[in-house]
Amino acid sequence: MGTVFLRRLSRWQAESEREGIGDLYAAAHRDAPGARPLERAEFVRRFTDHDIQQPDFDLVLAGDPGPVGCAWGFRADRGSRWWQSFLDVPAEIDELTQSRQVFVLAGVVVLPQRRRGQLGTRLHRELLSRSRAPLSLALVEPGNAAALAALQSWGWSKAGQLTPADGSPPLETWARR
């Protein structure tokens, strides 16, 4: 395994790389315990039609030279379309988001053979380095032990839960100032 390089992709670059990012997502979630990953095609659709379209979308891609990991997110100001995809926002989360500007850590994926080498930490740190929002949020399925452990190791704390309006199960909400 060679040196891993990180590079930022603009919204348009991310869209043109969506199939490769979809392959990366599928490979990273193959046999993942405790998670219910999306099917590859559903991930690519959601990534392209939802995530990339959000304000201040940002993505950091790791390669050696082929993709081995990535992290992405976007700004979700209170009252934005992203927040409207959830039922009532609990008081504890509402208080945290009083500044109205929130950066959503939408995903961090790393190929299994590249885990345990701090690549996820590097991607996470680089992604959040440009965010000017005073608060970052991440949504996690309650059974996803790997994601919960990573967030805890990066200094995030549980802030409550949000219930998607589409009837999906509630998601744990983690915050980092």
* C-beta neighbour count of 49 within 10 angstroms: 9
What gap in Å lies between CA 44 and CA 126, rounded to an integer? 23
**Residue stretches of the chain with pLDDT short of 50:** none
pLDDT at position 2, please? Answer: 67
What are the pLDDT digits (tens) for 1-32? Answer: 568 999 999 999 999 999 999 999 999 988 76
3-state helix, strand, coil in the chain (%, to 5): 35, 30, 40
Give the pLDDT confidence score for residue 110 in this predicted structure: 94
Identify the pLDDT of residue 37.
Answer: 73
What is the pLDDT at residue 90?
81
pLDDT attached to residue 32 = 66
Model's pTM, two decimal places? 0.91
Angle at 88 between CA 87 and CA 94, to 5 degrees: 130
Q: Where are the beta strands (DSSP E) in the chain?
A: 5-9, 58-63, 67-75, 102-110, 135-140, 157-162, 171-176
The answer to whether 75 and 55 have CB atoms below 8 angstroms apart is yes
For 126-136, how does the pLDDT look when each residue is reduced to its tens digit (9 = 90+)?
Answer: 999 999 888 89
Which residue matches tokens 């392209």? 48
Q: What is the pLDDT of residue 116?
A: 81
The reported pLDDT for the residue numbered 34 is 59
The angle at the Cα of 46, spanning 171 to 159, to the nearest 5 degrees, equals 20
Q: What is the pLDDT of residue 79?
A: 80
The predicted structure's pLDDT at residue 13 = 96
